[in-house]
Amino acid sequence: MEDYAKYFLEVSSEQRLKIIQLINEKEYRLSELAKKLDATTPEVHRNLERLEKSGFIIKNSNGHFILTTLGQMILGIAPNLAFIIKNKKYFLGHPINSLPQKFISRFGELFECKLVSSYVNVFEYWKNIYKNSQEYIYNILYDVPYFDDFVNPILDKLSQGIKVKSIFYENAMVSDSRGDILKKFKKYIDSGDIQRMMTKNITAAVILNEKQACLIFPDIDGKLDAGYAFTSEDPSFHQWCFDYFNYSWYNAQPFMERKLEKN
């Protein structure tokens, strides 16, 4: 691991990482980089030498610095680290050990997001996803809210032809009013406009439409913590949530109403 560590050390410097990012955009000479970084030429020269020695950059025949394949790959994983570091306090209380590794390795796609705190703000964004949907609503639900603020927007969108897919946690908490609510949704369930699956484990919850997405992780007790949520309209963030939902859907079991009724 010591051999690997030295490469991370080279990009642990803010200026060296910035140099890699700039050179990824276009070729630069030493003097141009110093001006762009508002730094002294000797300082930038030292960092360029370190990056060149590590194999991240090379100088071409025109005297410009360009990225090597190694540099491009390091730059590719930098957003993963940046997302985790930016939200390190959150992740200390929200473990991700049960999340599939292939999604952890794509954490860089989540970088352009906002961490929303408080149940009120999280549920408000959740409702907005329902209200703003034009094509579909996808849910992974740990608890099932049956407030009018949640139910009515979905009914309204279903009447406009949008599709709903929901994955229910089989031990989800449901209210006594579930039977009455189901009657309102029955024709959409029968028509296939609402599709439902069920799962024994939820490693993360997502709520999304075709543009917006909301991502919620469990707390240290393994319960989904809706007091915090990552939210975004960024295409990369949305793609991560979309792929995670489809992965979860593929691995879920057929929906059985009686399992919810027992809780």
Q: What is the pLDDT of residues 145-172, one digit of tens each?
A: 777 788 889 999 999 999 999 999 887 7
Torsion angle (degrees, nearest 10) of CA 149, 152, 156, 159: 150
The whole-angstrom separation of Cα 195 and Cα 143 is: 17
Contact residues for 137 (Cβ-Cβ < 8 A; gap 6+): 129, 130, 154, 157, 162, 163, 164, 165, 207, 208, 209
Mean pLDDT of all residues in 17-35: 92
Cα–Cα distances (Å) from 70 to 20, 73, 74, in that order, read 11, 5, 6
pLDDT at position 172: 75
Token pair of 223 as six digits:
């319960």
pLDDT tier at 250 (50, 70, 90 boundaries)?
very high
Distance, CA of 71 to CA of 220 (rounded, Å):
36
Residue 81, CB-side half-sphere exposure with 13 Å CA sphere = 9
**What are the residues facing 214 on neighbouring strands?**
207, 231
**pLDDT averaged over every residue in the chain:** 90
The per-residue pLDDT for range 35-88, each reduced to its tens digit, is 999 999 999 999 999 999 989 999 999 999 999 999 988 888 888 888 988 899
Right CATH for 87-261 from 3.30.565.10, 3.30.870.10, 2.10.109.10, 3.90.1150.10: 3.30.870.10
Amino acid at 224: L
Burial class (CB in 10 A: 0-12, 13-18, 19+), 38: exposed
Among the listed residues 198, 206, 196, 214, the one whose alpha carbon sits nearest the alpha carbon of residue 244:
206
Residues β-bridged to residue 57: 67
Mean pLDDT of 130-134: 96
Fold of 2-77: Arc Repressor Mutant, subunit A (1.10.10)
Cα angle 162-138-112, degrees, rounded to a multiple of 5: 115
Structure tokens at 56: 């991240």
| pTM, entire model | 0.81
Indicate the domain borders of the chain: 2-77, 87-261
For residue 262, what pLDDT is reported?
Answer: 53
Q: Are strands 136-141 and 163-169 parallel, antiparallel or unpaired?
A: parallel
pLDDT confidence of residue 207: 97
| Tens-place pLDDT, residues 185-226 | 999 999 999 999 999 888 999 999 999 999 999 999 988 899
Predicted pLDDT at 7: 73
